[in-house]
Amino acid sequence: MSRHEHAQGGRVRNTRRSSDDRGYVIAESAFAIPMVALVALIATAMVFVAMSILGMQDAVHTAARDIARGVPPDAVRSSLQMTHPHTTVTVAPTPQGVTVTVHRDIALLGPLLSGLSIPVERQALVPWETGVGA
């Protein structure tokens, strides 16, 4: 009995697949594996962008709060640009408070795909602390 034949109830049954079925597993794997890798790459890029946006929002709010407490805007601007490089920082004092706006192009997956980026702008308005004003 060959390795492709099984004994079944006294009969020998051939379990060899037809020639039409050969190669389907390889073809399906050749398609599925790159698709799984692409989904993983997209998910990683989304997480990277979300983390960058959250970090920017936190830094913008902290910068606005520091300026509202009396820290010079130039010191806050340079600190913010050291923490988040390649950003454009705008400080707009008003009678009600201070508005800090940061604009940055976030590269997908950091330096791996530096040609693909998403423009992000975050803004925070914080009222002036007592004794500090425009």
Tokens encoding 58: 């936190």
Q: What is the pLDDT of residue 86?
A: 86
The gap between the terminal CA atoms of the chain, to the nearest Å, is 95
* Domain residue ranges of the chain, discontinuous segments joined by +: 21-127
Mean pLDDT of 37-43: 90
Share the mean pLDDT of the chain. Answer: 82
Whether 34 shows a pLDDT value over 80: the answer reads yes
**Gyration radius (Cα) of the chain, Å:** 30
Q: What is the pLDDT of residues 87-114, one digit of tens each?
A: 899 999 988 899 999 999 887 766 666 6
* Secondary element (H or E) of residue 121: strand 117-127
Q: What is the pLDDT of residue 81?
A: 86
* Secondary element (H or E) of residue 107: strand 97-107
Q: What is the pLDDT of residues 42-59, one digit of tens each?
A: 898 888 889 989 999 999
Tokens encoding 46: 């989304």
Coil, helix or strand for 91? Answer: strand
Q: Are 69 and 129 in contact (CB under 8 A)?
A: yes
